[in-house]
Structure formats: structure tokens, C-alpha cells
Chains A and B, each alone.
Chain A
Amino acid sequence: DSGVTQTPKHLITATGQRVTLRCSPRSGDLSVYWYQQSLDQGLQFLIQYYNGEERAKGNILERFSAQQFPDLHSELNLSSLELGDSALYFCASSGGLAGSPYNEQFFGPGTRLTVL
């Protein structure tokens, strides 16, 4: 158990809909990262937050947005969903200074999103 929790575990929805994925980092971790894992694209970094502020952006679509709240949990919002958005979405957290190369990222179990 990494200490990172994600809800829901599974989500099935239709094209055009909007969903929210939730992540609670390990106790004390200030950084939260979101990743998308799909069969054809592999593991893609989406976005990072540190202590409530956006830190870095990766391959995140404009239809997707995220935020980190004062209690450090984070939400990833996916809107106008398309079939190609079906994937596993992982959240990871790390502690200490944002981006320290010595900070291990701890991954949650993921949310499996299926868009029909």
C-alpha cells in the first residue's frame, strides 16, 4: 500500500460526458502528479501540483483540468469525453521540495475510465 488513494476505481461513462477523478496523496506529501496510461500511448505525464499551485504541465488536453485543494487532495476533471480517453489514470505523490530528484513518487492504484 503506497498510501496514495484514488477514487473511484472504475468509471464507465458515455462520450461527451464529464467526470471527476479524485486523489489523496500520502500524508505530508506536497506534490501530486497525474498520469494517463493507455495501450497505444503508454504512460503519459499530464500535470503536477505542488502545495496547491500548478508546477508543470505535460501532455494534458485542453478538455482536461486539475486542481489541488488546501487539504492537498487533488481532482482531475475530464470533459467532453471521447472514446480515446479510455485509459487508466494514475495519481502519484512525493514529499519535500517539489521536483527534488531524490523524491520518490508514490503511485495510487489508478482509476480505470471507460468511455462508451
Chain B
Amino acid sequence: GNSVTQMEGPVTLSEEAFLTINCTYTATGYPSLFWYVQYPGEGLQLLLKATKADDKGSNKGFEATYRKETTSFHLEKGSVQVSDSAVYFCALILMDSNYQLIWGAGTKLIIKP
């Protein structure tokens, strides 16, 4: 079936470190891919998205590239800040699944000053 796998957290980094959160997917067809972020005590917000292979989504210094050959959508940021501490969710959407978002388990990111 269709699924999303994220690296387990928590991921703990120092401020200004380079961030990678891995996300791989299994899907029948051609999904659109998303990263959502959940800050403490808040709902989820869309961080970035990519709708076709080789697209790069970017926002707030975060980037992710839709890699069809490796079925991946890894989230990266060159220099993280304490304010980036949150839970990050990778998700996909497929026409075949009636456009329902299929979620990864989430990765908690902790940035230490």
C-alpha cells in the first residue's frame, strides 16, 4: 500500500548546524509530496510542497527535492535556529487515494542554543 517513512526522532542539533530529516515513500502512481511542521502547542502548518519529480519545494530556509528514482523527499536546512524546534511531518497525496493525505510518523527536532 501507500506509505511514508520518516527517520525516527528526536533529532537533537546545535544552533547553526545543518539539518537533514529523511523521508521516503511508497506509492502507486505519482504523488504530490509535502512537509508540514507542528510547533509546540499548535496545529500543523504546511512548510513546503512539490508536485512532480525533480521539483524543489522551499520555505523559511528549508528545502526538499522530489526524487522519483529514490522515492525520497528529504528535508534540509543549512543553518538551524532554536525557533525551528518542532515536529516535522512528511506526507503524500494521491489521486488514487481520493486525495487523502498519507502521513509519516513525524520527527521531533530539538535545537539547542
Contacts and interface: CB of A to CB of B under 8 A. Distances in A.
B100 A56 contact: yes
Given A42-B105, A42-B106, A104-B49, A110 B98 contact: no
Contact of B45 (A2, A43, A58): A2
Contact of A55 (B32, B41, B98, B105): B98
Contacts of B99: 56, 98-101
B41 to A, nearest CB: 8
A90 B43 contact: yes
Contacts of B19: none
Interface residues of A, number: 23
A105 B46 contact: yes
Contacts of B98: 55-56, 99
A101 B95 contact: yes
A101 B34 CA distance: 10
A90 B44 contact: yes
A45 B100 contact: yes
Nearest to A91: B43
Contacts of B46: 104-106
Given A43-B106, A55-B98, 14 more contacts: A43-B44, A43-B89, A43-B103, A99-B95, A99-B99, A99-B100, A101-B32, A101-B51, A101-B93, A101-B99, A102-B51, A107-B44, A107-B45, A110-B43
Interface of B: 32, 41-46, 49, 51, 89, 93, 95, 98-101, 103, 105-106
